[in-house]
């Protein structure tokens, strides 16, 4: 098995790990972390595809690599927005849970997990 | 097993362990620390995948900025003693395990069946490299061959920032983001900020500049500049500017605006949207990149600084 395939399998595992964390963690911050782990797995798959496409003297296909760079920046922007939303939820509701057992104010939207 | 293979196996094992830790740790802060280490190790993986440009971005964003952002959030939530909420039951856990394993196995199966020889656009990128005069194929893709993606991504960054700002109460609209950081002016943090920031700014500009021909570019350089700005703000040497300031808005808009003007110019001169006239390709791309680096640095810095929490006059 080539090293590139090993990284690809690890990318698949990261997606599974992140998905699991997103489902089972009640804490929204942990969900954000798990979402980022999931995303890193997807990016790694791009990296594997790029590496396999190494040709013309390049270490990898530059197109998927460029897409990953764009993706990393967008993922960071989404994470920053999610963190700010979470802090605001905490400020408003006094708790950072998404469960309907949260001691939330009546006008606060709650979503059952 | 050659040393490089051993390194690969070791890196994968480490990354795996750290990722499991990030998901399984009890404390949110511990999980965030795990995630920062994970981001730095991923940069190593990117190097081994022959993608130094991505490795730089991953180290700067995944290991650096995300870490500061998430640690800050974890600290704020923990200081207030938040309850974690209801732990999921055993049934939900089992369903989650089944679902995750199925998805991961499906992706793993497709990784094993990737076509051979692999489809690639590298020869096309190499054949057209002469059109722009840039030596770095990734920068070529970002700034020329798929410039539309890069332009729209600038817009996404701006939208995220508008989203963050829109969470401010009405009376603080246009105010200064985040709390005022105070640190001992004689302390280690202020010293580090004075010492590291000038070096970091030079490194950031350098990484942006060499991106034309070597690994680096506007994203990586802009991220380093943003980190230096944050360091100086956290050390209390300067305060975050009120987000209503006109110069700030102009800097935020300059990246996408220059991109759009050059793009429409390409349309007006007859070729296509974002088509650069051959003789002008490199200067135009550099002009876009300079504006973009500034916009990225300021946007990322303000995304990290957060919601306006103080009035502009404070």
Question: What would the DSSP string read from start to end of B86-149?
Answer: PPPPHHHHHHHHHHHHHHHHHHHHHHHT--SSPP-SHHHHHHTGGGTT-S-HHHHIIIIITHHH
DSSP character at residue B59 = I
Please indicate whether, in this complex, the C-beta atoms of B103 and A56 are within 8 angstroms of each other: no
Does one domain contain both B181 and B295? yes
Residues 213-272 of B with CB under 8 A from A: 217, 219
Beta-carbon neighbour count of residue B60 at 10 Å?
26
The pLDDT value recorded for residue B79 is 65
Structural domain includes residue B266: yes
Pair (B43, B168) in one structural domain: no
My answer on whether B145 and B250 are in the same domain is yes
Among candidate residues B79, B112, B127, the one where a domain is terminated: B79
Tokens 């940069």 found at: B43
* pLDDT at residue A82, as a whole number: 93
Find where tokens 């995944």 sit. B62
| Residue B191 included in any domain | yes
B51–A66: do the CB atoms touch at under 8 Å? no
- Phi, psi of B310, rounded to the nearest 5 degrees: -135, 150
Distance, CA of B221 to CA of B211 (rounded, Å): 9
pLDDT digits (tens, 9 = 90+) for B229-268: 988 988 888 888 888 888 999 999 988 888 888 888 888 8
Cβ <8 Å between B73 and A74: no
Could you tell me if B172 and B246 lie in one domain? yes
What residues make up the domain containing B10? Answer: 1-79
Of the segments A44-58, A70-84, B57-71, B130-144, which one has the largest average pLDDT value? A70-84
Predicted local distance difference test score (pLDDT) of residue A100: 58
Same domain, B144 and B293: yes
Q: How far is A106 from chain B (nearest CA, A)?
A: 18
Contact A78, B70 (CB under 8 A): no
Number of Cβ within 10 Å of residue B207's Cβ equals 24
Cβ within 8 Å of B, A 21-80: 21, 23-27, 29-30, 32-34, 36-37, 40-41, 43-45, 47-63, 65-70, 72-74, 76-80
Report the gap between the CA of A87 and the closest CA in chain B (Å). Answer: 7
Which chain A residues have a beta carbon less than 8 Å from that of B304? 80
Cα distances (Å, whole numbers) of residue A28 to A21, A25, B105, B305? 11, 7, 26, 20
Contact B104 A29 (CB under 8 A): no
Q: Is the dihedral of CA A79, A80, A84, A90 positive or negative?
A: positive
> Which one of B100, B119, B160 has the shortest CB-CB distance to A81?
B160
What is the SS3 assignment for A68?
helix
B chain contacts of residue A67, beta-carbon cutoff 8 Å: 146, 149
Domains, chain A, in order of start with CATH, read 3-93 (1.10.287.3510)
**Is there a single domain that holds both residue B46 and residue B149?**
no
State how beta strands B308-310 and B176-177 pair.
Answer: antiparallel
- Considering the domain architecture, whether residues B155 and B281 belong to the same structural domain is answered as yes
Question: What secondary structure letter does DSSP report for B65?
Answer: I
User: Do the Cβ atoms of B92 and A23 come within 8 Å?
Assistant: yes
| Three-class secondary structure of residue B309 per DSSP | strand
Q: Are B22 and A18 in contact (CB under 8 A)?
A: no
The shortest CB-CB distance from A101 to any of B12, B86, B127 is to: B86
Determine if the peptide bond prior to B117 is cis (ω within 30°): yes
User: B88 in a domain, yes or no?
Assistant: no
Domain boundary (B79, B94, B111) is at B79
For the residues B67-91, what does the mean pLDDT come to?
A: 77
- Cβ–Cβ of B160/A78 closer than 8 Å? yes
Is B281 part of any domain?
yes
Question: In this structure, are B225 and B294 located in the same domain?
Answer: yes
Taking the Cβ of residue A82 and every Cβ of chain B, the question of whether any pair is shorter than 8 Å is answered with no
- E strand map for chain B: 176-177, 308-310
The pLDDT confidence band at residue A78, using thresholds 50, 70 and 90, is very high
Inside any domain, residue B143: yes
pLDDT tens digits, one per residue of B104-153: 999 999 988 888 777 878 777 777 777 777 778 888 788 778 888 888 88
Instruction: For residue A55, give the nearest of B62, B120, B157 by CB distance.
Output: B120
Same domain, B73 and B141: no
CB half-sphere exposure, B288, CA atoms < 13 A: 28
Residue B198 belongs to a domain: yes
Smallest CA–CA distance, residue A94 to chain B, in Å, is 8
Q: Region A49-63: what's the mean pLDDT?
A: 80
Reported residue count of chain A is 113
- Statement to judge: residues B75 and B145 lie in one domain: no
Checking if the pLDDT of B305 tops 80, the result is yes
Judge if B31 and B140 occupy the same domain: no
Do you know the residue count of chain B? 314
Count of domains forming chain B: 2
- Within a domain: B101: no
Angle, vertex CA A48, rays to CA B65 and CA A74, nearest 5: 30
Contact B57, B43 (CB under 8 A): no
Contact A14/B219, CB-based, under 8 Å? no
Q: How far is A107 from chain B (nearest CA, A)?
A: 16
Cross-chain Cβ contact A12/B105 below 8 Å: yes
Supply the mean pLDDT for chain B.
Answer: 85
Residue where a domain stops, chosen among B34, B60, B79: B79
For the segment A45-74, the average pLDDT, to the nearest whole number, is 85
Tell me, yes or no, whether B56 lies in a domain: yes
pLDDT at A107 > cutoff 50: no
Cβ neighbours of residue A93 closer than 8 Å, sequence gap 6 or more: A102, A103, A104, A105, A108
Q: Rg of chain A's alpha carbons, rounded to an integer?
A: 18
Q: Which residues of A touch B80 (CB under 8 A)?
A: 90
Give the span between the Cα atoms of B224 and B196, in whole angstroms.
11
């Amino acid at each position: 098995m080539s090293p590139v395939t090993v990284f690809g399998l690890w990318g698949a595992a990261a997606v599974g790990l992140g998905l699991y964390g997103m489902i089972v963690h009640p804490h929204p911050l942990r969900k954000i972390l798990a979402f980022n782990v999931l995303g890193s797995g997807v990016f790694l798959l791009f990296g594997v595809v790029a590496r396999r496409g190494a040709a013309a003297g390049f270490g990898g296909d530059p197109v998927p690599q460029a897409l990953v760079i764009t993706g990393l920046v967008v993922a960071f922007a989404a994470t920053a927005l999610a963190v700010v939303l979470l802090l605001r939820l905490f400020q408003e509701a006094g708790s950072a849970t998404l469960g309907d057992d949260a001691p939330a104010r009546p006008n606060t939207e709650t979503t059952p997990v | 097993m050659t040393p490089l293979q051993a390194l690969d196996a070791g890196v994968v094992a480490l990354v795996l362990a750290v990722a499991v830790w990030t998901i399984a740790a009890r404390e949110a802060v511990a999980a965030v620390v795990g995630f920062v280490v994970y981001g730095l190790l991923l940069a190593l993986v990117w190097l081994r995948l022959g993608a130094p440009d991505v490795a730089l971005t991953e180290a700067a964003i995944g290991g650096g900025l995300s870490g500061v952002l998430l640690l800050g959030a974890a600290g704020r939530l923990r200081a207030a003693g938040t309850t974690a909420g209801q732990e999921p039951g055993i049934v939900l856990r089992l369903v989650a395990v089944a679902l995750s394993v199925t998805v991961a196995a499906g992706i793993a199966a497709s990784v094993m069946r990737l076509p051979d020889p692999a489809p690639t656009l590298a020869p096309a990128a190499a054949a057209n490299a002469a059109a722009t005069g840039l030596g770095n194929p990734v920068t070529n893709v970002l700034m020329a061959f798929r410039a539309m993606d890069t332009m729209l991504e600038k817009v996404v960054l701006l939208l995220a920032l508008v989203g963050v700002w829109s969470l401010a109460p009405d009376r603080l609209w246009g105010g200064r983001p985040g709390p005022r950081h105070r640190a001992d002016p004689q302390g280690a943090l202020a010293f580090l900020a004075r010492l590291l920031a000038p070096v970091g700014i030079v490194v950031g500009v350098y990484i942006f500049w060499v991106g034309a021909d070597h690994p680096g570019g506007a994203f990586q350089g802009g991220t380093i500049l943003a980190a230096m700005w944050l360091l100086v703000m956290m050390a209390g040497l300067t305060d975050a500017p009120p987000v209503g300031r006109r110069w700030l808005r102009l800097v935020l808009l300059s990246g996408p605006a220059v991109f759009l003007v050059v793009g429409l110019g390409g349309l007006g001169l007859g070729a296509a949207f974002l088509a650069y006239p051959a003789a002008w390709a490199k200067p135009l791309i550099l002009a876009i990149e300079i504006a973009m680096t500034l916009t990225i640095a300021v946007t990322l810095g303000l995304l990290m600084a957060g919601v306006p929490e103080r009035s502009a006059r404070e």
